[in-house]
Structure 1
Amino acid sequence: MRRIGMVIAGLLALVVLGVAVFSFVTVRRSFPDTTGEVQISALKGDVTVQRDGRGVPQIYADTPEDLFLAQGYVHAQDRFYEMDFRRHVTAGRLAELVGDAALDTDKYVRTLGWRRVAEQELALLDDDTLRLVNAYARGVNRYIDGRSSAELSLEYAVLGLTGPSYRPERWTAVDSLAWIKAMAWDLRSNMTDEIDRVLSTEKLTVDQVEELYPDYPKGHATIVGDEGTVVDGSFTSGRGPSTTGLARTAVAALEAARDGAEALPALLGTGDGIGSNSWVVSGDRTATGRPMLANDPHLAPSMPGIWYQVGLHCRTVDEACPYDVSGFSFSGLPGVVVGHNAKIAWGVTTMYADVADLYVERVTGDTYEYAGQQVPLETREETFEVAGGEPETITVRSTRHGPILSDLDDDAADVATTRRAQDAAAGTAAGTSYEVALRWTALDPKPTIRAVFSLGRAQDWEQFRVAAKQFTVPSQNLVYADVDGNIGYQSPGTIPIRTTGDGRWPVPGWDPAYEWSGSVPFDQLPTVYNPDEGFVVTANNKVIGDQYPVNLGADTAAGYRSERIRDLISGRSASTGEGLTVDDMARLQTDTYNANAARLVPELLTVPLDTTYYSQGQEVLAKWDFMQDADSPGAAYFASVWRHLLARTFHDELPEGQWPDGGERWFAVVDRLLDRPASRWWDDVTTPGVRETRDQVLADAMRDARDELTMIQSRDPGEWRWGTMHRLELVNPTLGDSGVGLVDRLFNRGPYKIGGGNGIVDATSWDAAKGYEVTAVPSMRMVVDLDDLDRSRWINLTGASGHAFHEHYVDQQDTWRAGRTLPWAFSREAVDEATDDTLTLTPVP
């Protein structure tokens, strides 16, 4: 028996060893070669790819075509599955890859027609841009040619266990252009707010809803100030002539719809807290006497992170080969989206320009009403292939305003249902249905890809503005600095002018009065160059004051982050008399001060609690410095109080889908209510005969929080930690949500305990209606020193590689989480010194 046991143990050991070897080989077979030489027939000359210790590539070539071909090759080496996943999403073909679970997403995307618009944009590209986009596609295809799916990524190997073998299609220029539509959708501004306003009228009047969307706080600064306006067809900053007599877009709020629907589902990173910080300071405020620029875009976390670091360098920079640029790119898209070249640096934040409107349409049969006439609907058939299932076909209907969303979304159809009931009561003809159509600037073909290449080439402010003019969608705040000491800001984008209404509520599609009358000319968009105060801050806050003659968008961030950044920039210079350093800028990016707590905690401390057990929470707040660090007991308790305060104040009067997420808008709402202790909002309408007041709600919220933290952490307040509740999990966008623990663990990483929070400079957002888990993060951080570009710093959320278990899959996360950054080599000398691996791409002889 002992010998039999030994034999069985030996066999089991061989099986385990075999599985381990198979797993090791399967995992590693997709890892790319980063040294040696590869021949590529499309190249005109040698290209070198030098990678540092984190796997970040710097690419050197003699022609633009070779340079961007190599970028496509390198992107495919590290991130091809991510690229393929994205193009399936943007084409509405994700179900082909992962099955019917993605079919609803595909229907939405195909209804919006992202890829159809991208195909139209391809035809609008100039010859130079088209040549570079095609070169990038050739580089991608050179890498994937001859490789099996499993050799491209582990995800394909896992998918192959449950479905038929899959062979990725060749990459095309349209695949790259369609990705910009996905980003534009994520950053489409206030469409969700527009629908939420209507949804909230289920229980509230329009006036009550408006109280929950307060005006921009009067004490908070706008990006370019309150003095610039449009004069003689151009934007003029500073103290210009009076705006009296200038034509203004009507801003009257609409009361068109009474019930409604949620926005389309999140696809590629939408969620609470999507936004960004960026700021630029002049040499008058820096230790070097030259400008510095900082940027950290806030997007939903994913594995791998959304950004890819890269340098693109012409060996000889001249008119024939004008690129010497480094920064953050998107895999699947040629060029550098955010970063710097040898002369200028730029950063981006979401502008929250209102570029999308919902139109309620009266539909009868295959026509819809417009200006008193019945107009034929536009229709097309869309067929979906489904992995492991049968094909499915839908009919997409559109009006002059855009695709009808309510054909796919029951909630969107509720907008129409309510309107139908109202019109039926008013005697509208039977047989008419009511639908909701979307008008969105990104559905008009205008290729933003040109701006990406132009930014990489720009050498000064004027060339930067030429590039910004091409940045049509999404609308982003652009900050600027150059090595000659100049700083600036520019609003770009296609921003509609509304003849009636302000875009905050759905409007009647049959009434021509609600049409757009064009877009704001670029020369009239807000801009500032070398401002007197010596810095520009953008944190999704309001761009300009009400003297500006066009409503750019009402639903910006309320300015709590931007005010904190402004205070820190000003205070650093004033308190020390010394200029800002790169380290100062990087520390500012991870500041966790909670301005909402600074306003609310003094009120909480005045409310008596009836037992020592409950008052211990107040004692924690009394000692707290309002910093939302991961190891802070005060931050943990306050977050719980905030969540329960919002629930007790608003859940009784709002539909569940509109419960407060706890972000900056709600800071402003509660700020105003604190000065109105008898406001009706404090009363719980579900307790008839009882009138709750502010102090009662505050006390109950503190009791709720004490009980919650006792249950989920400890009875001892000294053991409470914010990071224990506020955790970041990095999830693969397809297989990471498989529900199979082993598969999830292959691709996901975390959870990690982190600090920060909503409305905080270190913007690690969470949704108060759902819990404390992280929903958005600074997806990267960068600080550019225009005095010495090699002193610049950067960090990515995860790492360069998209290959699970690769050494660079998540090797930047610990540094990111600690609030540190990495050296950013730019000059050839610095790059050579930092190089660990070199790959040479050569032409076929």
Structure 2
Amino acid sequence: MPPNTTATTGDKPGKSGRKKGRKARLVVLVLVLALIAGVAYGAYWSISTVRASFPQTKGSLTLHGLSGPVDVKRDGNGIPQIYASSDADLFMAQGYVQAQDRFYEMDVRRHMTSGRLSEMFGKGQVKNDEFLRTLGWDRVAKKEYDTELSASTKKYLQAYAAGVNAYLQGKDGKDISLEYAALSFTNDYKPAKWTPVDSVSWLKAMAWDLRGNMQDEIDRALMTSRLDAKQIAQLYPAYPYSRNKAIVQEGQYSQVAGAFQQNGSSSGSGTSTSGTTGSSTSSSTSSSGSALNSQLAGLYKVLDNVPTAVGVNGQGIGSNSWVVAGSHTITGHPLLANDPHLSASLPSVWYQMGLHCRTVSSKCQYDVTGYTFAGMPGVVIGHNQDIAWGMTNSGVDVTDLYLEKLSGDGYLYDGATKAFKSREETIKVAGGKSKTIVVRQTADGMPLLSDRDDELVNVGTKATVDTAAPDRGDGYGVALRWTALDPGTTMDAVFAMDRASNWSEFRSAAAKFDVPSQNLIYADKDNIGYTLPGKIPTRAKKDDGSIPAPGWDSGYKWTGYIPKAALPYEYNPERGYIVTANQAVIDQDKYPYTLTTDWGYGTRSQRITDLIESKIKGGGKMSTDDMRQMQLDNSSEIAKLLVPTLLKIDVGDKDVQQAQELLEGWDYTQDADSAAAAYFNAVWRNVLKLAFGNKLPKELRVKGQCLWVDPASTTGPADDTQKVRECGQRDADQAQPDGGDRWFEVVRKLMNDPKSEWWTTPKTGTRPGATDNRDDLFKRAMIDARWELTAKLGKDIDTWSWGRLHRLFLKNQTLGTDGPGFLQYILNRGPWKLSGGEATVNASGWNAAGGYGVVWVPSMRMVVNLGDLDKSKWINLTGASGHAYSAHYVDQTGKWAKGELLDWNFSPQSVDKNTSDSLVLKP
């Protein structure tokens, strides 16, 4: 992101000024080399630039604005527990402490949410800023703060901002973090004061990454250029309700206008949530098919480049949570587990802490601990003195894309031309000229995303581009309707959940959680529950939200929102447990509203359910460690389906047969040291490429993705090298499915049709010939997988292991990805060899389109013991600190990779017993 910091110019003898300049540059170089040397020799503690940014964690310091003293107690992992006597003091101290540990991360986040990354990192971020300005997260957050949030929430946000700014006061960049010291080599950026809106904006970024099925809308629309409706439906099969249970099964529903009865019978008719192309397919694509495909293909590129907040740009990620009633636990009280699956980031997206009022009263209302985001007050996931809760992404459909017909300065709507709302946005660029763009929105507030790509605005141009708005054009455009672009009350919900003491209060708090819509599980000492919150749109009969709709027809508009009282929930179900892992919320036949057409397919959720039932049906009782062990389950459901068939195939080659024999007796567990897991996942990846790679539209193809490595890196004999080279030729310009549990379901259904056209492949090069049935394709995939792993891991299969392929690298998300090499060396960590895999409970996800490396992870893990809160356990992906040389930068990662959990201290006695550093903040 930042410009190169090491460029120098020569000097000539006798030029004293140039010698001084060169000397100054050499001083910088010496400092840089000192930083690098510090890693190797442990000398970094003596480097003033690094040492200056470390937080004070002992003794006392004055914090102007406090009404009384605040204690900050950190355990051996640097995790802070804050004790105060008023709400305002509590959240002011939270802001101060988070800024101590993570301000650089907070600063980058607010620049992302406001579309101002170019101010920090220069011209390389201008395109991203243009798109983020078009979405206008900070503008929505400002309106949300001004008009929607309660007075108490505003008070807490103001106190938090005051704490952050108290930390910043009098500090230069180098006093805050190493990254600022690096940035100062190339620009004069200085952090500005924190504002309450900076905190609220982060909720919009989180909602963006968890936005639901927008990518599926685009994919299905693009598929229509090459596939018919039946083929598309095969790639988006119906949710398997009979095999993978929905979350709400025994179903308690609120009585809303007589719509529901106690056990799920409905007076409305369910709308199918199977993967169909939807009624809007023909309407939107037949009238302007090429324009739509061109627009959406261009949008692909724009979306891929947008920085991620917590997820992987809305693709592939999931989460696990489950709660078990006291009747099935050894303590006689509920146990609750949660592990959200998000992008691997350094530092972790989560920040662990406790917020404690010395005495809970109307003056000071909080005694809560858990995970939050640096930059946001309160606790997002965790427990207080009475209740615990967890979250997984619900996946409900809260976004729709509309193809707009542009006409002059407006767009067509029901036969008339309507004017766009437009505004100018000026993007400041570090080390460069500012750029002004024009953002256009429809009358009902939908931003025109297609204005943000030069290729998009040229599609279907019918008139000269308006010189006053050089980044827009006529023809067709793509607009976005998204619930998060409307002001909401999610920030109110966070504080209300933190205060809740029972199910009724928790449900009331959850009702304020507008975006992103999450599955919320609940436990108190005696009860368990689930509720689905969120602002979820209803659509006209013409549209099911599965594909971009024609914006010029009012028949495709949203018609309102599902009444919050009508959203599904469950309380103390007879079965004694609740599982949420991104599966369907409720059976489509038991609910009158369409929540989405694109659920996760329930692979993880059903595995968790099976593990719970295997324990309790035999009369066993769940323990905290049982919950932890379930989080580490590495079983591959797709392997259970395919391996019996793979073992029956005569591969006709002794080297391939040797690899095939790894699967004999394999228990389908994807441990890091498993050679069988390595081979099977290579076979699965090749099956996907062969069956689907050359049949999908070119717009979905991933350029240059090769299943094998560059021939220069192979250690095999000459014939192996030739096979690797042919792979590079064959795989160029081919699509590749990501390999998630939707593809599990696709292949599961095709297994019963061994002559399906999907199993056909052409002959390529000297590799195995064309295939026209399932078993021939599987044979070819096993052969290809053998040579792929030969190239990657060597010919001796005794040296193979899944962990050698499946590795986690943790990268600082700014200078650690695009900064100079020495900074990447300083800031990044890894690799770790991981167990688990795609759609397993231990979901160390990988994307078959790009390789076996870990892409998303259980970003944290927790198990709450409602019988004794001090016996609860937790772990973070990295550590409490965002300072690269801190002892708490990645001190939890090794334990996390092994599946270990830390003690989670809550009571004052337990916190005091385990306090390592104590700091008093004085007024």
- 1:247 Cα offset (Å): 8.8
The residue aligned with 1:681 is 758
Match of 1:150 among 170, 174, 193: 174
Counterpart check, 1:438 vs 2:480: yes
The match for 1:768 among 817, 837, 848 is 848
Is the CA contact (8 Å cut-off) linking 1:594 and 1:628 kept in structure 2? yes
Give the SS at the match of 2:480: strand
Distance 1:602 1:417 in 2: 52
Deviation at 1:691, TM superposition (A): 5.5
Structure 2 counterpart of 1:364, one-letter code: S
- Give the AA of the match of 1:154: L
Aligned to 2:824: 744
Matched, 1:207 2:230: yes
User: Cα offset for 1:214?
Assistant: 0.8
The answer to whether structure 1 residue 138 and structure 2 residue 152 are counterparts is no
Shift in alpha-carbon separation, 1:31–1:135, aligned structure 2, 3 A? same
Instruction: Compute the displacement of 1:410 (Å).
Output: 5.9
TM-score by length of 2: 0.86
CA distance in 2, matches of 1:786, 1:227: 24
For residue 441 of structure 2, the aligned residue among 398, 403, 406 is 398
Contact 2:250–2:263 at 8 Å: present in 1 too?
no
Write the distance in 2 (CA, Å) between the matches of 1:694 and 1:750: 39
The answer to whether the Cα contact below 8 Å between 1:542 and 1:557 also exists between their aligned partners in 2 is: yes
Q: CA deviation at 1:684?
A: 2.2
- The letter for the 2-side match of 1:239 is N
Correspondences of 1:729-808 after superposition (within 5 Å) = 729-738=809-818, 740-808=820-888
Aligned to 2:747: 670
The one-letter code sitting in structure 2 at the alignment partner of 1:407 is D
Conserved 8 A contact 1:273-1:298: no
1:565-622 per-residue CA deviation (whole Å, 9 max, x = no partner) reads: 00001111234x2210000001101110011110111111111110221111221011
Q: Is the 8 A contact 1:249 1:550 kept in 2?
A: no
Is the contact between residue 258 and residue 267 of structure 2 (CA under 8 Å) also seen in structure 1? no
Instruction: Provide the C-alpha distance between the structure 1 equivalents of 2:489 and 2:258, rounded to a whole number of angstroms.
Output: 24
Aligned-residue offset at 1:226: 7.2
The letter of the residue matching 2:280 is: L
The equivalent residue for 2:668 is 626
Q: What are the superposed Cα offsets for residues 248-284 of structure 1, whole Å, 9 maximum, x if unpaired?
A: 7999542123423344234224324321100001011
Any idea what the Cα deviations from partners look like across 1:636-695, whole Å, max 9, x if unmatched? 001100111100011111131563000111000011111110001111268899552111
Any conservation in 1 of the 2:647–2:660 contact (CA below 8 Å)?
A: yes
Report the counterpart of residue 580 of structure 2 in structure 1.
538
**Distance in 1 separating the partners of 2:62 and 2:254:** 56
C-alpha spacing 1:730/1:17, structure 2 compared with 1 (3 Å): closer
Quick one: structure 1 residues 686 and 512, their matched pair in 2 at CA, closer, same or farther if it must change by over 3 Å? farther
1:481 aligns with 2:481: no
Say whether 1:114 aligns with 2:156.
no
Which one of the candidate residues 453, 456, 473 is aligned to 1:409? 453
Q: Which residue of 2 aligns with 1:809?
A: 889
The equivalent residue for 2:15 is: none
Aligned to 2:796: 716
Give the Å deviation of 1:104: 1.3
Alignment of 1:226-241 (within 5 A): 231-233=255-257, 238-240=262-264
Q: Which residue of 2 aligns with 1:79?
A: 102
CA change 1:756–1:737 in 2 (3 A) is same
Task: Specify the alignment match of 2:773 in structure 1.
Answer: 693
Q: Report the Cα distance in structure 1 between the residues aligned to 2:179 and 2:136, rounded to whole angstroms.
A: 27
TM-score, reference length from structure 1: 0.93
CA contact (8 A) 2:418 2:443 kept: no
1:129 pairs with 153, 163, 171, which one? 153
Q: What residue number does 1:428 align with?
A: none
- 1:832 equivalent in alignment to 2:876: no
Report if aligned partners of 1:335, 1:453 keep a CA contact under 8 Å in 2.
yes
Q: Which residue is equivalent to 2:364? A: 321
- For residues 99 and 748 of structure 1, the distance between their equivalents in structure 2, rounded to whole angstroms, comes to 21
CA deviation after TM superposition for structure 1 residue 40, in Å:
1.4
Give the Cα separation in 1 of the matches to 2:888 and 2:513: 32
**Higher mean Cα deviation, 199-208 or 551-560?**
199-208
Distance 2:490 2:920 in 1: 31
1:454 to 483, 496, 500: 496
Q: 1:373 aligns with which of 416, 420, 431?
A: 416
In 1: Cα distance, 2:661 partner to 2:126 partner: 52
- Provide closer, same or farther for how the CA distance between residues 671 and 248 of structure 1 changes in structure 2, counting only shifts above 3 A: closer
Whether 1:635 aligns to 2:677 is yes
- Are the counterparts in 1 of residues 250 and 573 from structure 2 also a CA contact under 8 Å? no
Aligned in 2, Cα 1:739/1:68: closer, same or farther, shift over 3 Å? Answer: closer
1:11-32 CA-partner distances (Å, limit 9, x unpaired): 9xx9988986787222221110
* Aligned partner of 2:248 among 208, 224, 227: 224
Counterparts of 1:32-43 in structure 2, within 5 Å, are 32-43=55-66
Structure 1 CA distance for aligned equivalents of residues 455 and 89 of structure 2: 49
Contact 1:653 1:685 in 2 (8 A): no
- How much does 1:201 deviate? 2.3
TM-aligned CA deviation for residue 716 of structure 1: 2.1
Within 2, Cα distance between the matches of 1:363 and 1:651?
35
User: Deviation string for 1:20-76 (max 9, x for gaps)?
Assistant: 678722222111010111111200001000000000000000000000000000000
Partners of 2:228 and 2:537 lie apart in 1 by 28
- Alpha carbons 1:273, 1:299 under 8 Å: kept: no
- 1:501 match: secondary structure: coil
Task: State whether residues 228 and 235 of structure 1, in contact with CA within 8 Å, keep that contact through their aligned partners in structure 2.
Answer: no
Q: CA offset at residue 237 of structure 1?
A: 7.0
The residue type paired with residue 222 of structure 2 is L
Distance 1:700 1:238, change over 3 A: farther
Per-residue CA shift, 1:143-202, capped at 9, x if unaligned?
A: 0111111110100001111x2222100000000000000000000000011111112223
| Structure 1 pair 777–584 and aligned structure 2 pair: CA distance change class (3 A) | same
List runs of 5+ in structure 2 lacking aligned partners.
Answer: 1-26, 463-472, 703-734
Q: Which amino acid aligns with 1:610?
A: G
Alignment partners' CA distance in 1, 2:760 and 2:457: 32
1:312 matched to 2:355? The reply is yes
**Contact map agreement 1:227 1:545 (CA 8 A) in 2:** no
- Pairing 1:188-203 to 2, within 5 Å after superposition: 188-203=211-226
Which among 87, 103, 122 is matched to residue 126 of structure 2? 103
| 2:544 match: secondary structure | coil
User: CA-to-partner distance for each residue in 1:696-752, whole Å, 9 max, x for gaps?
Assistant: 110000001111111111222222100100111111111011253211011111111
| Counterpart position of 1:520 | 562
2:326 to 241, 261, 283: 283
Cα RMSD between the aligned structures? 2.2
Q: 1:100-119 CA distances to partner (integer Å, 9 max, x unpaired)? A: 11111111110000000000
Aligned counterpart for 1:94 among listed residues 117, 125, 130: 117
Worse overlay, 392-401 or 163-172: 392-401
Aligned-partner SS, 2:128:
helix
Contact 2:370 2:382 in 1 (8 A): yes
Question: Partners in 1 of 2:893 and 2:451 — Cα distance?
Answer: 42
Superposed displacement of residue 447, structure 1: 2.8
CA contact (8 A) 2:539 2:556 kept: yes
Mapped to 2, the partners of 1:699 and 1:411 lie a distance apart of 42
Alpha-carbon distance in structure 2 between the residues aligned to 1:798 and 1:247? 44
**Paired residue type of 2:648:** T
Partner letter of residue 449 of structure 2? L
In structure 1, C-alpha distance between the alignment counterparts of 2:658 and 2:488, rounded to whole Å: 59
* Deviates most, 208-217 or 90-99: 208-217
- Distance in 2, matches of 1:73 and 1:154, equals 19
